[in-house]
Chains A and B, each alone.
Chain A
Amino acid sequence: MFAVEDLSAAYGPVKALNGVTFTAARGQVTAVLGANGAGKTTLLRTVSGLVRSTKGSVKLNDKDITRTATEKLTSYGLSHVPEGRGVIAELTVTENLRLGGLHRATGSEPMPVERVFELFPRLGERREATAHTLSGGERQMLVIGRALMARPTVLLLDEPSLGLAPRVVAQIFDLLRGLVQTEELTVVLVEQNARSALSIADHGVVLNLGKVVASAPAAELAADEQLRHAYLGF
């Protein structure tokens, strides 16, 4: 289980996160939704220690990981896939994956690169390609595959649908849904594309101006017309 409690962060005088509280249950997808600037990316960056929290706590399986050094989080089983498809463009597909497996969750078995190629056959075909030659969809597959190499129990995904064609988004979300079941993952999915995200999420959290304005089962959020119009844009 992954729990964020009263988490706050600021960029100078601007409060970007203001007492955010939610829980993401094991084996479920929790979507974090909201408009541009609502604090979604800041939320993930604060959890990962890339932005310093000013208040609150983050718990991973009852272990307090607030303000843990970013470099240590993968060993605790938390992998964060940043926004903008953070492949290391200069390395090959295989090298990116190998890198992902170097610092995996403590006590976990190493994951063979071949296993990722089974999940994403397209990556297998391009295994020796330098990552900057990959398409947007392939890059997204690569960063998800790379995160899995660390054997995480919690996977934070920042806008995986950004800039991808709807067909590719559907494909990646399907894969994600499957992974949650087979790997027993806890997924926190930050998305601006609320409609797609809610279609695979179990639970949804809506942020606005750094605060949680709604937290409910995904189906309930999708059915709430007023909320959808006000915050989710569909």
Chain B
Amino acid sequence: MQQFLDTTLGGLVLGAVYAAFALALCLIWRSTRIVNFAQAAMAMVTTYIALSLINADVPYWVAFMAAIAAGFGLGAVIERVIIRPVEGKAELNAVILTLGLFMVLHGLTAITFGVQHRGFPAPVGTSAISVGDTSIGITPFGILTIVVVALVMAGLVVLFRFTDLGLRMRAAAFNGEVSRLLGVRVGRMLTLGWALAAAVGAVAGMLIAGGDLVNPAFMDPFVIYGFIAAVLGGLDSPLGSVIGGLILGLSLSYVTGYVGEHLAPLVALGILMVVLLVRPSGLFAAAAARRV
């Protein structure tokens, strides 16, 4: 029972991070129909920016905000400068570009910051909380992770459901030409979509790095896991991305806890295969009626 509780809590924390990452992929997919393979590398860059600030004695939360701002700027610049010229061309062009960007960002970070592992601080404790004599399998930082991801999600729901800006962004993503005819500045909305996604990615990067070691490759597993979570939930659905993230986090945590850590990546790929075979549009995709 104790082990079940521990692995479940651990899985929820892991799942929250996957969810945040899948959410970032989903935002870009919705706005520009591109799977952004550079997402993890972009988050890695912003995390390194935060680390440099923290090492220069900037308070943790200020560095956290700086990472989000850097992500926002990086996302906007990448969409405007790199992605925009290939928009409307074959979709593969943009995907290959994001793969190239992944490698460029990787290389530049290694040149700038070195490839060695560095410790990344956490704003709260990273050892398991104890109730009485028994320790339960969650850390204060784990709780913080869940809270932050929940806040990000709530913020996005409010933005897309209840604000005019969110309505414009959704419209621009779903039907660019009609949106332009209605006066929406579609290009600007797409840039904003990428900026927002990269900001969410930056948050995920900070939560993954906290209390752990970072090197330029530390986000790489998330290229795969975030993608699996997003596909699991349906790339189109923000809610699906979150649930997909949680399902993946819990599954991997149970596999790690009960079977063995080395099996986790295999199980993740197994899940991806089953989803693509059985329900390729994802568990929560809004059915095939969409593109009418």
Contact = CB atoms under 8 A, between A and B. Distances in A.
Q: Answer whether A and B are interacting partners.
A: yes
A150 B183 CA distance: 9
A86 B178 CA distance: 6
Interface string B158-197: 0000001001101100110111111111100000000000
A153 to B, nearest CB: 15
B180 A70 contact: yes
A90 B292 CA distance: 9
Given A82-B178, A95-B167, A132 B289 contact: yes
B258 to A, nearest CB: 41
B262 interface: no
Contacts of A95: 167
B290 interface: yes
Contacts of A98: 164, 167
A33 interface: no
B183 A89 contact: no
The residue in A91, A99, A103 that gathers the most chain B C-beta atoms within 10 A of its C-beta is A99
A132 B164 contact: no
Contacts of B291: 89
Nearest to B236: A90
Nearest to B188: A71
Interface residues of A, number: 29
Given A99-B167, A99-B168, A90 B186 contact: no
A50 interface: yes
Interface string A79-99: 111100011111100010011
B170, B183, B286, B292: most-surrounded residue (chain A CB, <10 A): B183
Contact of B182 (A89, A90, A103): A103
B174 A90 contact: yes
Nearest to A87: B178
Chain B contact residues: over half helix, strand or loop, or mixed? helix
B174 to A, nearest CB: 5
A58 to B, nearest CB: 15
Nearest to B181: A80
A86 B183 contact: no
B183 A71 contact: yes
Interface residues of B, number: 22
B184 A89 contact: no
A127 B268 CA distance: 41
A104 B184 CA distance: 11
A150 B289 contact: no
Contacts of B168: 99, 102
A54 interface: no
A132 B290 contact: yes
A82 B181 contact: yes
A223 B186 CA distance: 45
A68 to B, nearest CB: 12
B290 A102 contact: no
Contacts of B167: 91, 95, 98-99, 102
Contact of B175 (A86, A100, A150): A86
Given A74-B183, A102-B182, A103-B182, A89 B177 contact: no
Contacts of B180: 50, 70-71
A72 interface: yes
A91 to B, nearest CB: 7
B184 A71 contact: yes
B174 A91 contact: yes
A98 B165 CA distance: 11
A71 B185 contact: yes
A48 interface: yes
Given A71-B180, A88-B175, A91-B171, 9 more contacts: A74-B181, A82-B177, A82-B178, A88-B179, A89-B291, A89-B292, A90-B286, A95-B167, A99-B179
Interface of A: 48, 50, 70-75, 79-82, 86-91, 95, 98-100, 102-104, 132-133, 146, 150
Interface of B: 164, 167-168, 170-171, 174-175, 177-186, 286, 289-292
14 contacts: A50-B177, A50-B180, A70-B180, A70-B181, A71-B186, A74-B183, A82-B177, A86-B178, A88-B174, A89-B175, A102-B168, A102-B184, A104-B183, A150-B182
